[in-house]
């Protein structure tokens, strides 16, 4: 029996373009507040990126004729 292994890499460009909170001017915030806002934005962007990768991986698995759910284990 012949076994083949395939690796799938997906690059999703990610750029944080705006951080705002309750109309406060970011330059008037303390460093800790800015840090928290950036961290919050990063976590949100990361979560969206992971979800997009999962959807793309599922689409690729489906296009290759893999049974539903089988491609979910690919990392």
pTM (2 d.p.): 0.50
Residue recorded with tokens 């970011």: 26
Consecutive 10-residue averages of pLDDT for the chain (75 residues)? 61 69 60 83 91 88 81 55
CA distance 44 to 50: 10
Per-residue tokens: 12: 């999703």
What is the per-residue pLDDT for 66? 84
CB 47 within 8 A of CB 18: no
CA distance 75 to 68: 16
| Positive or negative: CA dihedral 32, 41, 10, 2 | positive
What is the per-residue pLDDT for 60? 87
Sketch the domain layout of the chain as residue ranges. Answer: 27-62
What is the per-residue pLDDT for 48? 92
């Amino acid at each position: 029996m012949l076994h083949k292994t395939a690796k799938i890499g997906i690059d999703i460009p990610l750029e944080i373009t705006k951080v705002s909170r309750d109309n406060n001017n970011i330059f008037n915030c303390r460093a800790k507040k800015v840090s928290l806002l950036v961290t919050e934005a990063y976590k949100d962007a990361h979560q969206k990126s992971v979800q997009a990768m999962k959807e793309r991986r599922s689409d690729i698995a489906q296009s290759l004729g893999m049974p539903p759910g089988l491609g979910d284990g690919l990392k």
